[in-house]
């Protein structure tokens, strides 16, 4: 199956000979890795800030909800309300 330094695998020719990378290629790879690291750090910072904002908004909404339930529970104006007695009207015959 092997035909010298090149092998045929899945219809593609693969060169087994290795070559040294040039200094400019290595520098370019380092630059790309550095840019990718900065991009990942920016995305992580955005994700963290979004989570903090979501927690703050959720806490605010929950606090308003709980406060309104607590304040409605304290209202007593309907407890003191007495229904008026019905007056019976005698039948006129």
Among 16-25, 36-45, 75-84, the minimum mean pLDDT is found in 75-84
Write phi, then psi, for 34 (nearest 5 degrees).
Answer: -65, -45
Q: Confirm whether 80 is domain-assigned.
A: no
Percentage, residues of the chain above pLDDT 70: 72
Q: Confirm whether 92 is domain-assigned.
A: no
Averaged pLDDT score across all residues of the chain: 82
Q: Confirm whether 58 is domain-assigned.
A: yes
Q: What is the pLDDT of residues 35-71, one digit of tens each?
A: 999 999 999 999 999 999 999 999 999 999 999 998 8
**Domain span holding position 42:** 21-72
Distance CA 84, CA 33 (A): 82
What pLDDT score does 66 carry? Answer: 94
Q: Confirm whether 2 is domain-assigned.
A: no
Dihedral angle at the C-alpha atoms of 55, 58, 60, 66, nearest 10 degrees? -130
Domain count, the chain: 1
What pLDDT score does 86 carry? Answer: 78
Angle value at C-alpha 16, between 22 and 27, nearest 5 degrees: 15
3-state secondary structure (DSSP) of residue 11 = coil
What pLDDT score does 63 carry? Answer: 97
């Amino acid at each position: 199956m092997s035909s010298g330094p090149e092998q045929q695998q899945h219809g593609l020719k693969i060169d087994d000979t290795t070559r040294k990378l040039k200094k400019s290629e290595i520098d370019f790879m380092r630059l790309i890795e550095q840019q990718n690291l900065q991009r990942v750090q920016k995305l992580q910072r955005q994700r963290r800030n979004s989570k903090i904002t979501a927690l703050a908004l959720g806490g605010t909404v929950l606090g308003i909800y709980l406060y309104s339930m607590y304040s409605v529970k304290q209202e007593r104006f309907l407890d003191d309300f007495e229904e008026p007695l019905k007056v019976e009207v005698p039948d006129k015959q």
